[in-house]
A and B are shown apart, each in its own frame.
Chain A
Amino acid sequence: MSQDHTGRGRAGESETRELAHGAARNFTEIRETDAPGFSDALGTMSMMIDPVRPLHHRWSVEVVRALRPVAFVALLLVAWHVSTTFQRAPILPGPLAVAAGLIELGRRGLLLKYVVASLFRVTWGFLGAALVGIPIGLSIGWYRRAEQAFNPLIQILRPISPLAWIPIAILWFGVGDLTAIFLIFVASVLPLTVTAMNAVEIVPEVYVNVGRNFGLRRAQLVYSVLYPAVKPQLVIGLRITLGVAWMVVVAAEMIAVNSGLGFMIVDARNAGNRYDLVVAGMVMIGAIGLLLDIAIRSLERVPSISWGYSDD
């Protein structure tokens, strides 16, 4: 089946015959189409392929891969243990002492009590901030003039560390739960307001126009278009702010209240240099912070929210 290239530049043959001959001549039939043609392809066009995974992939390889981070953690623990065994004065605890400390706290019932106290404060402070900050933020984001009026102020107040509010908080609420809740509220309300503001500004105008086109009134517009549209960004903001709130509760408890995980850390040190309990407290703080983070991240996977995240 050789190619005939003499078709090039051949003048003089009539057009119609050229069509009949030439077209056929140009076509090199490779195989009869038992291979699916374009029309079949149209059906399968959207299949996505994950390239560059080698063919030979067995489950044992997967297991080894999953174990590597575990091994790394184990390595760190060993290093920690070794470095604390060889310190001059036995101040900092090794991992075993910390584990023992955790068990002790659990047995004394303090662990549960303090964890509950801290979570309680975070919950109330954070919820309060969400209920106040988000609606305000949404309104400010919606009305340009409101944004102009309030934004500069918000930007000035935001960097004021919530901890700087401690003396004022103690002045107003004394030493106790309310102070801690107030501090968490202060720490969370402005970031959430800003998040809500930005979330509204990011909503594509197209969505709003569609809503208006279909005759939705203001309230319906907010409920049916705006609120679903801002949810993805709001959830991200909630997650980040929750992390901040958790950080602040610990600090607040270290300075201004008499219970909770933060207090436990300070107390363990003051009442006898129990650094094993101090580090045990730190571990608990980290663990709970992580759990809170994971909980909100799972929210991000809900379909009514996950649409807002591109999978680049």
Chain B
Amino acid sequence: MSALSQPRRWEAFAWPCVTAALLLLAWHVLVTLTGTEVFPSPLNVQRGLAQLIERGVLWRYIGDSLRRVGIGYLTAVSVGVPAGLLLGWYPAAAHVVNPVIQMMRPISPIAWIPVAIVLFGVGDVAAMYLIFLGAFFPIVVSTMNGVRNVPSIYRRAGRNFGLSPAALLTRVVLPAALPQMLVGFRLALGIAWLVVVAAEMIAVDSGLGYLVIDARNAGKRYDLVVAAMILIGLTGLALDVGIRRAETLKSIRWGFRHAP
């Protein structure tokens, strides 16, 4: 978009490395200069990570977090998609239910934590319930909107060819709504990852979120805290990249354009 010359391909690799290196350097310098006892330098963090791997804790915690996300998220999908389909298909139903959805949506899943603990006690189930809550609304809303936004031409063509309502749903409406649904799925996954970290900080005793809090409480191990943060970032990124793959696959093939 700028008037400068087009950057060459190798630059796409070079520049990020340069910025990353500069950032690490700045970090290291700041830590040494301020002479802080507590805040870790990049090297401390790297050593902390190695320790975690050694103790076998790392993979277990990552696994725990991913497991909770997986179950909560998949439950949200299996409940949310049919609900969204129904609401999108019957505008009258959507009209009735929508205000409730709009009212419940802004309530952060995190605000639900005390209620979750009362209902399910401290542990995995509470965390998964919270993840379900967080993921449910984006999925329902995007599915509902995806169905409603299917161009009426497609529906007419489907009816014209004599499709039964069930066939219409599976052969026309669902494929047409899929791109928008996928956007909602990606959003919901991001929220799920956010919520699991929060839930683990408060309501369970394993996982990456727990590690962040525990490393600080049990000995001010800020090197482990930062290590955990980086891991959270990387895992979240992996999840995001993974689901974007699914999205771009379909979108590119079908030629749909939507905001990233």
**Mutual binders A and B:** yes
Given A161-B236, A281-B111, also A69-B99 (CB < 8 A): yes
* Interface assignment of A208: CB less than 8 Å from any CB of chain B: yes
- Which residue of the partner chain A has the closest CB to B230? A160
- List chain B residues, Cβ under 8 A from A156: 233-234, 237
- List chain A residues, Cβ under 8 A from B215: 167
State whether B95 touches A165 (Cβ < 8 A).
Answer: no
Of the candidates A73, A155, A279, A292, the one whose C-beta lies within 8 Å of that of B237 is A155
State whether A148 touches B202 (Cβ < 8 A).
Answer: no
A155, A281, A288: most-surrounded residue (chain B CB, <10 A): A155
B104-126 near A? 1/0 per residue, CB < 8 Å = 11111111111100110000000
* Interface assignment of B197: CB less than 8 Å from any CB of chain A: yes
Q: How far is the CA of A158 from the CA of B239 in the complex (A)?
A: 12
- List chain B residues, Cβ under 8 A from A69: 95-100
Of the candidates A152, A163, A200, the one whose C-beta lies within 8 Å of that of B201 is A163
Within 223-267 of A, Cβ neighbours of B (below 8 Å) are at 233, 236, 243, 246-248, 250-251, 254-255, 262, 265-266
A128-161 near B? 1/0 per residue, CB < 8 Å = 0000000000000111110011111101111111
- List chain A residues, Cβ under 8 A from B111: 250, 254, 262, 265, 281-282, 285
* Interface assignment of B11: CB less than 8 Å from any CB of chain A: yes
Q: How far is the CA of A287 from the CA of B103 in the complex (A)?
A: 7
Within 68-83 of A, Cβ neighbours of B (below 8 Å) are at 68-69, 71-73, 76
* Interface assignment of B12: CB less than 8 Å from any CB of chain A: yes
B95, B115, B208, B232: most-surrounded residue (chain A CB, <10 A): B115
Within 260-296 of A, Cβ neighbours of B (below 8 Å) are at 262, 265-266, 269, 275, 278-279, 281-282, 285-290, 292-293
Q: How far is the CA of A233 from the CA of B259 in the complex (A)?
A: 9
Q: How far is the CA of A141 from the CA of B11 in the complex (A)?
A: 16
* Interface assignment of A166: CB less than 8 Å from any CB of chain B: yes
State whether A247 touches B190 (Cβ < 8 A).
Answer: no
Of the candidates A144, A161, A262, A282, the one whose C-beta lies within 8 Å of that of B232 is A161
State which of B2-10, B79-87, B156-164, B247-255 sits at the interface with chain A: B2-10
Interface residues on chain A, number (Cβ under 8 Å): 70
* Interface assignment of B228: CB less than 8 Å from any CB of chain A: yes
* Interface assignment of B166: CB less than 8 Å from any CB of chain A: no
Given A233-B259, A282-B112, also A159-B190 (CB < 8 A): yes
Given A69-B98, A145-B7, also A163-B113 (CB < 8 A): no
State whether A72 touches B106 (Cβ < 8 A).
Answer: no
- Which residue of the partner chain A has the closest CB to B19? A149
A194-210 near B? 1/0 per residue, CB < 8 Å = 00001011110100100
* Interface assignment of B58: CB less than 8 Å from any CB of chain A: no
* Interface assignment of A112: CB less than 8 Å from any CB of chain B: no
How near does chain A come to B184, taking the closest CB pair, in angstroms? 12
Interface residues on chain B, number (Cβ under 8 Å): 69
State whether A144 touches B1 (Cβ < 8 A).
Answer: yes
* Interface assignment of B216: CB less than 8 Å from any CB of chain A: yes
- List chain A residues, Cβ under 8 A from B4: 143-145
Given A92-B115, A163-B197, also A168-B23 (CB < 8 A): no
State whether B149 touches A148 (Cβ < 8 A).
Answer: no
Q: How far is the CA of A236 from the CA of B118 in the complex (A)?
A: 36
How near does chain B come to A309, taking the closest CB pair, in angstroms? 11
Q: How far is the CA of A282 from the CA of B110 in the complex (A)?
A: 10
Q: How far is the CA of A262 from the CA of B114 in the complex (A)?
A: 11
- List chain A residues, Cβ under 8 A from B118: 91-92, 275
Q: How far is the CA of A289 from the CA of B101 in the complex (A)?
A: 13
* Interface assignment of A45: CB less than 8 Å from any CB of chain B: no
Report which A residues bind B (CB closer than 8 A): 65, 68-69, 71-73, 76, 91-92, 141-145, 148-153, 155-168, 171, 198, 200-203, 205, 208, 233, 236, 243, 246-248, 250-251, 254-255, 262, 265-266, 269, 275, 278-279, 281-282, 285-290, 292-293, 312
Q: Report 21 cross-chain contacts, Cβ distance below 8 Å, ordered by A residue.
A: A71-B96, A92-B115, A144-B4, A145-B7, A148-B15, A149-B19, A150-B16, A159-B237, A161-B197, A161-B236, A163-B198, A171-B39, A171-B222, A202-B259, A247-B108, A250-B108, A251-B110, A255-B201, A265-B114, A282-B107, A312-B151
